[in-house]
A and B are shown apart, each in its own frame.
Chain A
Amino acid sequence: AQKVTQAQTEISVVEKEDVTLDCVYETRDTTYYLFWYKQPPSGELVFLIRRNSFDEQNEISGRYSWNFQKSTSSFNFTITASQVVDSAVYFCALSAGNNDMRFGAGTRLTVKP
Chain B
Amino acid sequence: ETGVTQTPRHLVMGMTNKKSLKCEQHLGHNAMYWYKQSAKKPLELMFVYSLEERVENNSVPSRFSPECPNSSHLFLHLHTLQPEDSALYLCASSQDRWVGGSTEAFFGQGTRLTVV
Contacts and interface: CB of A to CB of B under 8 A. Distances in A.
Interface in A78-108: 91, 95-106
A16 interface: no
A33 B98 CA distance: 10
A2 B33 CA distance: 19
Contacts of A33: 100-102
Given A43-B109, A44-B107, A100 B99 contact: yes
Contact of A43 (B88, B98, B100): B88
Contacts of B4: 44
Interface stretch (A17-25, A45-53, A56-64, A65-73): A45-53
- The range of chain A's interface size is 20 to 34
A1 B56 CA distance: 17
A97 B98 CA distance: 10
A100 B56 contact: yes
A29 interface: yes
Contacts of B43: 91, 103, 106
Interface band, chain B? 20 to 34
B29 to A, nearest CB: 13
A45 B97 contact: no
B115 interface: no
B27 interface: no
Contacts of A35: 104
B100 A98 contact: yes
A9 interface: yes
Interface of B: 4, 33, 40-43, 45, 48, 56, 88, 90, 92, 97-102, 104-110, 112
8 contacts: A9-B40, A43-B110, A97-B100, A98-B100, A100-B45, A101-B98, A104-B42, A105-B41
